[in-house]
Amino acid sequence: MKNLPFLARRLGDKLLIQERVRYRAKLLSFKEGQLFQVVIKPFRENVSDLETKVRGYYFGHVLPHIVSYTGHSEDKIHEAMKQKYVSYTDEHGLQLTRSIFSNKSTLDLDEKWEFVEKVRAFAHDYLDIVTHDPDPEWKKQQP
């Protein structure tokens, strides 16, 4: 059976269901007395949508310009930019790079956007490549 996430708010010790129609339909799909699991976790409003847009802008606009200019693969350019801008030395002296856009990434949206801006600045300053700003209306919607 497919999961059906729905939004709710806590009011004191009660749960106020935001999407009552969807919730009711799902609830009534269970047999009387049937056991089911309820998972409660914080809601991250539109962050994944914005992260997807930042990722799309980076891989769909910024990187292709650099790839076209240098002739290097997208993977090589991306790894080089990660090494340059999001690498760190751990407590054992190992040089590590952070994941930017994968599900394993610990970077927040602002840090991802900062990475993209640093890559754009690198492309401009060292390769004389001008990348266009993303849609200004979209950029205004960022938290």
For 33-79, what is each residue's pLDDT tens digit?
988 887 777 765 555 777 888 888 999 999 999 999 999 999 999 99
CA 101 – CA 48 distance, rounded (Å) = 11
Residue partners of 117: CB distance under 8 A and separation at least 6? none
116 or 29: whose pLDDT is higher? 116
Task: Using a cut of 0.75, tell me whether the model's pTM lies above it.
Answer: no
Q: Which amino acid, one-letter code, is at 115?
A: F
CA 8 – CA 12 distance, rounded (Å) = 13
State residue 44's pLDDT score: 57
State residue 58's pLDDT score: 92
Q: Please state the domain extents for the chain.
A: 1-43, 47-140
Q: Hey, which bits of 1-143 come out as E strands?
A: 8-11, 14-17, 87-89, 95-97
